[in-house]
Amino acid sequence: MFNVFVPLLIAQATPEIEPPIAPEPPPSQYIIQKQPVRSLPGKLDKIPVFNSNSPEVVRNPGILLSTFSPEGKSNRNLHLNYTFNGRFDIFTHHIARPPVDPVIAKRQMNLGVIAYNPGNKPVKLEVLQSLSYTSKEDAPFQELPSYADNAHGDVYSGPGSRLATDILRGVSDPSTSITISPGQTQVIFNRPIPTGSARSSLMKLRSNGGVQIASIALLDNIETPPVVPEILAPFDIPRPPPAPILKPPEEADWLTALNSAPLATPRDEAPSPPGRYGALIYGRVAGVSLGTRWEALITDKPGDTSLTIPDRGQAFSYILNGVYGGTLGTGQIQTALLSARYPDTAFEAHGNYTTYYRLTMPLRNKTGADQTVVIKMQTPIKDDINADKLRFNVMPSTQVAFRGTVRIAYPEADAAEPAVRQVHVVQRKGEQGKPLVTINIPADSQKLVEIDLVYPPDATPPQVFTLESTDPATAPVAPSERQLPITPVKTP
């Protein structure tokens, strides 16, 4: 396997999931923000993720991803023979669009996740967190303001936005631990994907032994009700035949598919080979990625205990989720590597979907005057060259690049405990963003700021967090939580 990241053309939601948008005219000019762009300290952990995101659109059922052993399987090359042990995650994101069947219009695609214990002792799977949302019933796409107070987690647009928000807030579906006997296979997840809808799911697990995992897409079973004989008098009209009965797959169906089904289709566009010049395609992920969390203690240099704020009127930024071809001149690729993958899918886990980022900034004002620091999240135009400036669109873009919740803990004057703000952020490509928080730092003092977010599955990297120092008398004021526009969302 190549340990080289190949860019992915990360697609926006498809027309059947989100209304189509008008073609975007090229901006006539850019806003140039001259300032340093810095690499993000820290690194991804090595917790493995069963990462099932290809094919994104599933028309024909089959195996999505399998880390089972190929022994005894009809299609041996579909099984990656990877065993999870200890902490690991399962992430799946797929859209169901099966062929239209006019007779059985309501037949649905189903997503199943299967676990196998290859050892000789029982394995206990402890479910730490489990969430799953669809784009029609649970989290429809909708227009939201750039910022919305999300203290209660009820603001979201699309399943990726809701999934990331609830992971951040520690929400979980009711779940219990699962015990799998030696040599046994068990269905641990089984949900329908309504036609034309996307389903995004995450399970955080801990096992006390080795397990292998597979995700499979299957259509509802069709059962024909028995025909009841009838005695007809002359000129009687026979009753129409009973309608077929649709039932979700049973455990035996999942096991049969695991052993003999082909890959689900159609396949996504294959990634560009590493090192290829010209137009590059990242590909979508079907494999085992390594990394679920990135913790960054941001200081002047490793070993320091503080981060010196910019001089008044100056700013600097830290890149978030840098990707190959989009490091903003820092050269930092934060993308999770893949330990195993299907050969027609992404070489690395491009967007780091559902990765938890925690940024800790002990801000130090070393000047002899009070300063005000404004912190923004921004989505500059992606490039790989300029580390001394950021480019933004003058005209608003139609392409949404980020939909998710950012949590900020920061000190308030004379408060014993830090204030905590949770803001749902919507940013489009090339958007400068507004202040998330404005902090006054007295002369020769230090204040601690913590930023947490879970990178949403439908977002497009990279973003930056920008710190700018201003005169306290003229600093832009971040809206308070009470002033933030709130868009109510009906929770199913």
Q: Per residue in 384-412, pLDDT tens?
A: 988 999 999 998 788 999 999 999 999 88
**Is the pLDDT at 455 greater than 80, yes or no?**
yes
**Is the pLDDT at 49 greater than 70, yes or no?**
yes
Q: Report the pLDDT averaged over residues 19-45.
A: 78
Can you give the residue ranges of every domain in the chain? 30-44+296-470, 48-99+106-234+246-260
Confidence (pTM): 0.88
Return the minimum-mean-pLDDT range out of 249-253, 279-283, 355-359.
279-283
Q: Per residue in 175-215, pLDDT tens?
A: 889 999 999 999 999 999 999 999 999 999 999 999 999 99
Q: Are 91 and 353 in contact (CB under 8 A)?
A: yes
Q: Per residue in 54-111, pLDDT tens?
A: 999 999 999 999 999 999 999 999 999 999 999 999 999 999 999 887 767 788 999 9
Q: Report the pLDDT averaged over residues 336-364.
A: 96
Query: HEC profile for the chain?
Result: CCCCCCCCCCCCCCCCCCCCCCCCCCCCCEEEEECCEECCCCEECCCEEEEECCCCEECECEEEEECCCCCCCCCHHHCCCCCECCEEEEEEEEEECCCCCCCCCCCCEEEEEEEECCCCCCEEEEEEEEEEEECCCCCCCCCCCCEEECCCCCCCCCHHHHHHHHHHHCCCCCCCCEEECCCCEEEEEEEEECCCCEEEEEEEEEECCCEEEEEEEEECEEECCCCCCCCCCCCCCCCCCCCCEEECCCHHHHHHHHHHCCECECCCCCCCCCCCCCCCCCCCCEEEEECCEEEEECCCCCCCCCEECCCCCCEEEEEECCECCECCCCCCCCCCEEEEECCCCCCECCCCCCCEEEEEEEEEECCCCCEEEEEEEEECCCCCCCCCEEEEECCCCCCEEEEEEEEEEECCCCCCCCEEEEEEEEEECCECCCEEEEEEECCCEEEEEEEEEECCCCCCCCEEEEEEEECCCCCCCCCCCCCCCCCCCCCC
Return the minimum-mean-pLDDT range out of 29-33, 274-278, 421-425.
274-278
How confident is the model at residue 133, as a pLDDT?
98
How confident is the model at residue 251, as a pLDDT?
94
How confident is the model at residue 168, as a pLDDT?
97
How confident is the model at residue 479, as a pLDDT?
57
Report the 10 Å Cβ neighbour count for 444.
12
Report the 10 Å Cβ neighbour count for 403.
24
Residue type, 87: R
Dist. CA 395–CA 383, nearest whole Å:
19
How confident is the model at residue 5, as a pLDDT?
34
Q: Per residue in 117-138, pLDDT tens?
A: 999 999 999 999 999 999 999 9
Give me the percent of the chain exceeding a pLDDT of 90. 75
Q: Are 324 and 71 in contact (CB under 8 A)?
A: no
Q: Per residue in 466-479, pLDDT tens?
A: 999 987 777 776 65
Tokens 């209660």 found at: 152
How confident is the model at residue 481, as a pLDDT?
46
